[in-house]
């Protein structure tokens, strides 16, 4: 078990690749989202709990989120495909506009 301050927990989470602020960490500790034991100004928490918590946050809302069924995964994938197609369309339009401004014709 690690014995960490809120600041140290926050830095640990940031080092794991997630972007959050200190207040979010305090809320996660208060509401029990991040399992720990309060020990004065510090929190005792198992590193595996932090790793699991970070994993869940990182993949929340994606097809890799724990606990979602195959139907939900497919719906999320289809939505992502739709969004990517829309982005491709916008990029093609922007590319054509830039080519026209530069006087570059298609090869």
> 52 and 77: one domain?
no
pLDDT tens for 45-87 read 988 998 899 999 999 999 999 999 999 999 999 999 999 999 9
Instruction: Please give the structure tokens belonging to residue 66.
Output: 């724990």
> 82 and 55: one domain?
no
Name which of 21, 22, 24, 18 is nearest 56 in CA terms.
Answer: 18
> 49 and 13: one domain?
yes
> 55 and 70: one domain?
no
Range of the domain at 77: 66-107
CB 55 within 8 A of CB 41: no
Q: How many domains does the chain fold into?
A: 2
> 2 and 36: one domain?
yes
> 31 and 78: one domain?
no
The pTM score is 0.67
């Amino acid at each position: 078990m690690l014995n960490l301050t809120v600041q140290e927990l926050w830095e640990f989470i940031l080092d794991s690749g997630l972007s959050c602020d200190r207040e979010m960490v305090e809320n996660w500790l208060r509401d029990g989202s991040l399992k720990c034991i309060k020990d004065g100004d510090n929190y005792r928490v198992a590193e595996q709990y932090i790793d699991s918590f970070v994993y869940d946050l990182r993949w929340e809302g994606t097809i890799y989120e724990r606990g979602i069924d195959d139907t939900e995964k497919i719906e999320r994938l289809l939505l992502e495909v739709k969004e990517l197609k829309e982005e491709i369309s916008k990029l093609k339009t922007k590319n054509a506009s830039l080519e026209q401004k530069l006087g570059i014709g298609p090869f």
